[in-house]
Chain A
Amino acid sequence: MLISYVIRRIIWAVPFLFAASLVAFALITLPPGDYVTTLAQTLAESGDQVDQARLAALRARYGLDQPFIIQYFMWIGGVLQGDFGMSFEWNQPVAQLIWERLGLSFILEFSTLIFAWGVALPVGIYSAVRKYSAGDYVVSVIGFLGLALPNFLIALVLMYVAVVHFGVDVTGLFSPQYRDAPWSWDKFVNLLQHLWIPVIILGTSATAGLMRIMRANLLDELNKPYVVTARAKGLSEWKLILKYPVRLALNPFVSTIGWAFPQLISGAVITAYVLSLPTAGPLMLQALLAQDMYLAGAFILLLCCFSIIGMLVSDILLALVDPRIRFR
């Protein structure tokens, strides 16, 4: 039953991806102007003069003078053959640009996810079970502070304190000597030394949210008659809580996996921008703002794939975690 469900979902994904790619492409072309105007603007803003005739020629070369739908089919036709096109801005194949950054994005987001879950689950359980204890208030207040302060602001303050008071540069994911080096054990260690800063910065708000949700849902379960019954039967308190209520309270957590996947790219774009992280987010932001269409389009297409996979995984997990859910 589950297998046929999965197959049906995958078949669904094909028309969905087409629709998504069309919407994505339309969104990219919706703002006025195109890459060439953006190029001209950027140069003008730096005080550079722009060559009008050359711009017109560029526009014709990139096909930007074509109607929207023709541009779309030119692009999607290439994508179907595995050719994502060239980035206008960088004159480089889009696929190469994306893969370069995606790996580090994965590492960063998975670490953040593990950090957020690793902290939020136990703390959430604790603050639900020991509701209104001093500990509950302390973690709640800390959590909310993390939530209420914009991540990129925390990032900036942290960067400033590190530079001015400790003389350390915390931007990026590698020290300068490892940036262009091939992968090695030392480079990996260097990555770990830098990784914890963005992980904590990005993790603060996610942790607070998850923690509160865990707490709220566990509270819903804790007062239910079945818990009371189980307790009356003399089950030990922690075993009882972990075995049933926590498992059921995980339901909303599992639902959130669906959007943890697309977050791999689109999450924390601005924080990554401030911290100059070599992840996919800032590259996507830049492509979107510069209207570098093929690069931006590829990113959005990738996001759609991720969210399809994420939703599917989350739906399957939902069924596994919660025996009450059955798919037809």
Chain B
Amino acid sequence: MNRIVSALLGGALACAISSVGPYAQEYHEAPALAAEVAAGELPPVEERLPDQPEVIAPYRELGTYGGAIRFGLRGSSDHNHILRLVGPQGLVRWDPAFTDVVPNLAESYEVNADATEFTFHLRAGLKWSDGEPFTADDVMFNVNDLLLNADFAPTPPRYMAGGEPLAAEKIDEQTVRFTFKEPAGSFLYDLAMPLGQHPVFYAKHYCSQYHPAYNADVQSLVTQSGAADWQSLFRQQCGDIEIPARWGNPDRPTMDPWIVSSPYTGGATQVTLERNPYFWQVDTDGNQLPYIDRLTADVSQDVESLILAIIGGNIDFGLRHIDSISNRPVLAENQERGNYHMFAANPGGGQYMTIDLNLTHKDPELRALFNQKDFRIALSLGMNRQEIIDTVLLGQSEPWQLGDFPGSPYYNEQLSTQYLEFDPDQANALLDKLGYERGADGIRTLPSGRKISFKIDVIPTNTPDHVDILGLIEAQWRAIGVEMKVNPLERSFFFDRITVANDHDAAVWPNNGSALVNYPTKLVPLHQDSRWAIAWMQWYESRGANGEEPPQEIKDRLALWEKIRATAVPAEREALYAELNQRAADAFEVLGVAKSITTYGIVNNDLVNVPDEMANSWEWPTPAPVLPQTWFYKTH
């Protein structure tokens, strides 16, 4: 994990990871493309590739062309599933091991010593999927006309440091430089993540026709299309990073290995992506990637039909939606029938479920109760985590509070393992000491005579396992005299009640992923996932305009977090994070139940170059960084 942070600084270090030297060689292409070249419909492969294409050494062996990868899409909001296979083709990308940032569309980059200047050298001769050249002008269009254009959308915080957005500067046709006012320690990470594609997302020559700065008559296009304004039209035609319309227009040029031919629209029942003839990577033999001709996906509504499609052998790669622990026995048992095997997807850190007691509760009595550290300790000791794991998670996890797993530079033993033991006697002793006497029904009462009783909100359609876990905890806490009621909510009610209204007593949510890329929402109130301190989060997010001013300890931690964001030197960053971890460990605000579990996806037995284990993450959009463009079919 240390290498990633060193990669942040040493630009020189990061230059040549997988780009094997610039030796002259012959390039090869897929038979279908060769036929088009012969028919004069397409320029020869040498002209389609950049001057020095990125050379990729496939994971196991060199491949052959042909075939389709079939995957399963759901009917609603599943656009990121396509992204995960196609990959966010940004300036940089994650390496397959999730330890380093490597160059992607940029051939190399340099970062100055205090992480305020980032210079990117684009590969010379890169072409969009329609054959038009990709140059620094495209980057300038993306940054100046869209990213920094408040009229289009507010600038995302990733592109800001010290409250000011970055400035972009074109050095030459192949070189751009981004300058920040203050150090942007996480900027390279951010660029490698799916949401970091902004500087290279839109093709200027195509998308500028929908932009008023380039097309004075854009209004007539708006009227013609029925869109409300140019921004809507622009998104409809050119998409955006995270909306379905990104896959809705087959004419939009991209830098992706496959481009949409049957779009993902509201009425779609099937989505198809065909190979990009101008894709800019080759294998070590000079074969243009991707090997696979096309990606196809049936659109189904129900997860169960995805499972059936897998059992029936109609899916070649699947992880998203299907990897819940309850599906595993069925998927494992039908491997032979469906001609697939399973691969492990490792979350890297985090919790299967966290319990956030509302420390900023509107009800003063419950607020006072929840803010007692001893009360929270008693709840933690009153939980039989091993029983929960054995019953609901089939023994596939271990008791865990918060934080990264051992081996990560962000691991803190106290934060992760304090108060994990099941000790109802000590829990009772703590509650007795706090003065909460048991009433006639065995439930303890507050000094006012009110029962200690609260609800935990959960979304059953989203995380059915959590309802089961809470059912077990309900009985366990009753034994120590605390009444907890499971409160299943439809999801819009859940979000309204918590994030908007702060009306909840407590809530549960999964918290997968490593502190390497995740926001520490359970340590600092900075995001809607910080359900333990919504009022403080609102105060922070609105810079003091809304919500409630947090105590000094929380303010200190917020300041610490901002410092971490700005720090680029690995050792300093880790030291600051260690302090944050320690402060949160001492405060013990959020209860963890069990470690995030390794889940399993399925892959066709004939599909080669798919690793047996990979990370499972959104920031490292599984499986894109292991390069599906290098997968191919081999009949055994």
Interface positions of A (Cβ within 8 A of B):
31-33, 37-54, 56-57, 61, 83, 86-87, 89-93, 96-97, 100-101, 156, 159-160, 163-164, 167, 169, 171-172, 174, 176, 179-180, 272-276, 278, 282-283, 286, 289-291, 295
Q: Which of A45, A52, A171 contacts B308 (CB 8 A)?
A: A171
Distance between Cα atoms of A43 and B195 in the complex (Å) = 12
Is B267 touching A278 in the complex (CB atoms < 8 A)? yes
B84 and chain A: residue at smallest CB distance: A46
Q: How far is the CB of B282 from chain A (nearest CB, A)?
A: 31
Interface string of B239-265 (1 = CB under 8 A from A): 000111100100000000000001001
Q: Which of B80, B270, B493, B496 contacts A176 (CB 8 A)?
A: B270
Distance between Cα atoms of A281 and B499 in the complex (Å) = 31
Given known pairs A61-B232, A172-B298, A276-B305, the reply for A93 and B226 (CB within 8 Å) is yes
A87 and chain B: residue at smallest CB distance: B266
Is B226 touching A46 in the complex (CB atoms < 8 A)? no
Known: A90-B266, A179-B269, A283-B75. 16 other contacts (CB 8 A): A37-B495, A42-B76, A48-B80, A61-B229, A86-B227, A90-B244, A91-B232, A91-B235, A91-B245, A97-B267, A163-B312, A164-B311, A176-B298, A278-B269, A286-B76, A291-B492
Q: Which of A31, A43, A286 contacts B493 (CB 8 A)?
A: A31
Distance between Cα atoms of A90 and B153 in the complex (Å) = 18
Q: Which of A48, A54, A83 contacts B156 (CB 8 A)?
A: A54
Is B337 touching A164 in the complex (CB atoms < 8 A)? yes
A172 and chain B: residue at smallest CB distance: B269
Distance between Cα atoms of A308 and B314 in the complex (Å) = 44
Is B248 touching A90 in the complex (CB atoms < 8 A)? yes
Q: Which of A32, A49, A167, A272 contacts B496 (CB 8 A)?
A: A32
Distance between Cα atoms of A159 and B306 in the complex (Å) = 11
Is A54 touching B154 in the complex (CB atoms < 8 A)? yes
Is A167 touching B312 in the complex (CB atoms < 8 A)? yes
Is B496 touching A37 in the complex (CB atoms < 8 A)? yes
Interface positions of B (Cβ within 8 A of A):
75-77, 80, 153-157, 194-195, 226-229, 231-232, 235-236, 242-245, 248, 262, 265-267, 269-270, 272, 296, 298-302, 304-305, 308-309, 311-312, 314, 320, 334, 337, 462, 490-493, 495-497, 499-500, 512-513, 519, 528-529, 541, 617-619
Q: Which of A54, A160, A180 contacts B262 (CB 8 A)?
A: A180
Distance between Cα atoms of A101 and B499 in the complex (Å) = 36
| 8 A-B pairs with the lowest CB-CB distances in the bound complex, closest first | A32-B496, A100-B267, A276-B300, A53-B154, A90-B266, A91-B245, A42-B77, A97-B266
Distance between Cα atoms of A37 and B304 in the complex (Å) = 26
Is B236 touching A91 in the complex (CB atoms < 8 A)? yes
Contacts of A44 in B (CB 8 A): 528-529
Q: Which of A45, A49, A275, A278 contacts B462 (CB 8 A)?
A: A45
Distance between Cα atoms of A172 and B270 in the complex (Å) = 10
Q: How far is the CB of B495 from chain A (nearest CB, A)?
A: 5
Contacts of A51 in B (CB 8 A): 156-157, 195, 242
Contacts of A33 in B (CB 8 A): 492, 495-496, 500
Distance between Cα atoms of A40 and B619 in the complex (Å) = 16
Is A160 touching B308 in the complex (CB atoms < 8 A)? yes
Given known pairs A48-B242, A90-B265, A180-B262, the reply for A169 and B312 (CB within 8 Å) is yes
Q: Which of B80, B305, B496 contacts A171 (CB 8 A)?
A: B305
Distance between Cα atoms of A98 and B527 in the complex (Å) = 37
Q: Which of B228, B262, B302 has the most CB of A within 10 A?
A: B302
Query: What are 29 A-B pairs at a CB distance below 8 A?
Result: A32-B495, A32-B500, A33-B500, A37-B492, A37-B499, A40-B528, A41-B491, A43-B242, A44-B528, A48-B194, A49-B195, A50-B528, A51-B195, A56-B154, A86-B226, A89-B77, A89-B244, A90-B244, A90-B266, A91-B244, A92-B248, A100-B267, A174-B269, A176-B296, A180-B270, A276-B269, A283-B75, A290-B76, A291-B492
Is A156 touching B266 in the complex (CB atoms < 8 A)? no
Is A83 touching B231 in the complex (CB atoms < 8 A)? no
Is B77 touching A273 in the complex (CB atoms < 8 A)? no
Contacts of B235 in A (CB 8 A): 91
B519 and chain A: residue at smallest CB distance: A49
Q: How far is the CB of A198 from chain B (nearest CB, A)?
A: 13
Contacts of B491 in A (CB 8 A): 41, 45
B264 and chain A: residue at smallest CB distance: A90
Distance between Cα atoms of A41 and B462 in the complex (Å) = 10
Contacts of B337 in A (CB 8 A): 164
Given known pairs A37-B492, A41-B495, A169-B314, the reply for A274 and B304 (CB within 8 Å) is yes
Q: How far is the CB of B371 from chain A (nearest CB, A)?
A: 27
Contacts of B492 in A (CB 8 A): 31-33, 37-38, 41, 291
Is A43 touching B528 in the complex (CB atoms < 8 A)? no
B76 and chain A: residue at smallest CB distance: A286
Distance between Cα atoms of A52 and B195 in the complex (Å) = 13
Is B301 touching A89 in the complex (CB atoms < 8 A)? no
Is A159 touching B308 in the complex (CB atoms < 8 A)? yes
Distance between Cα atoms of A93 and B311 in the complex (Å) = 37
Contacts of A101 in B (CB 8 A): 267
Given known pairs A89-B244, A91-B232, A92-B236, the reply for A47 and B262 (CB within 8 Å) is no
Q: How far is the CB of A153 from chain B (nearest CB, A)?
A: 11
B462 and chain A: residue at smallest CB distance: A45
Q: How far is the CB of B37 from chain A (nearest CB, A)?
A: 27
Q: How far is the CB of B461 from chain A (nearest CB, A)?
A: 9
Given known pairs A37-B492, A38-B492, A52-B541, the reply for A89 and B266 (CB within 8 Å) is yes
Q: Which of A40, A97, A179, A273 has the most CB of B within 10 A?
A: A179
Q: Which of A39, A57, A87, A273 contacts B302 (CB 8 A)?
A: A273
Distance between Cα atoms of A56 and B301 in the complex (Å) = 29
Is A156 touching B304 in the complex (CB atoms < 8 A)? yes
A97 and chain B: residue at smallest CB distance: B266
Q: How far is the CB of A141 from chain B (nearest CB, A)?
A: 28
Distance between Cα atoms of A57 and B146 in the complex (Å) = 14
Is A276 touching B299 in the complex (CB atoms < 8 A)? yes
Contacts of B304 in A (CB 8 A): 156, 159, 274
Contacts of A49 in B (CB 8 A): 195, 519, 618-619
A280 and chain B: residue at smallest CB distance: B267
Distance between Cα atoms of A86 and B237 in the complex (Å) = 13
Q: How far is the CB of B296 from chain A (nearest CB, A)?
A: 8
Is A274 touching B302 in the complex (CB atoms < 8 A)? yes
Contacts of B245 in A (CB 8 A): 90-92
Distance between Cα atoms of A31 and B77 in the complex (Å) = 20
Is B270 touching A47 in the complex (CB atoms < 8 A)? no
Is B618 touching A48 in the complex (CB atoms < 8 A)? yes
Is A86 touching B232 in the complex (CB atoms < 8 A)? yes
Distance between Cα atoms of A47 and B514 in the complex (Å) = 12
Q: How far is the CB of B492 from chain A (nearest CB, A)?
A: 4
B617 and chain A: residue at smallest CB distance: A47
Q: Which of A41, A272, A282 has the most CB of B within 10 A?
A: A41
Contacts of A100 in B (CB 8 A): 266-267
Q: How far is the CB of B121 from chain A (nearest CB, A)?
A: 28
Distance between Cα atoms of A104 and B541 in the complex (Å) = 48
Contacts of A46 in B (CB 8 A): 77, 80, 320, 618
Q: How far is the CB of A321 from chain B (nearest CB, A)?
A: 38
Distance between Cα atoms of A306 and B168 in the complex (Å) = 56
Contacts of B265 in A (CB 8 A): 90, 92, 97
Distance between Cα atoms of A52 and B85 in the complex (Å) = 26
Distance between Cα atoms of A100 and B267 in the complex (Å) = 6
Distance between Cα atoms of A74 and B386 in the complex (Å) = 56
Q: Which of A47, A92, A274 contacts B266 (CB 8 A)?
A: A92
Q: Which of A37, A47, A97, A286 contacts B75 (CB 8 A)?
A: A286
Distance between Cα atoms of A44 and B282 in the complex (Å) = 35
Q: How far is the CB of B322 from chain A (nearest CB, A)?
A: 13
Is B157 touching A53 in the complex (CB atoms < 8 A)? yes
Q: How far is the CB of A14 from chain B (nearest CB, A)?
A: 26
Contacts of B312 in A (CB 8 A): 163-164, 167, 169
Contacts of A159 in B (CB 8 A): 304-305, 308
Contacts of B499 in A (CB 8 A): 37
Q: How far is the CB of A216 from chain B (nearest CB, A)?
A: 36
Contacts of B76 in A (CB 8 A): 42, 89, 286, 289-290
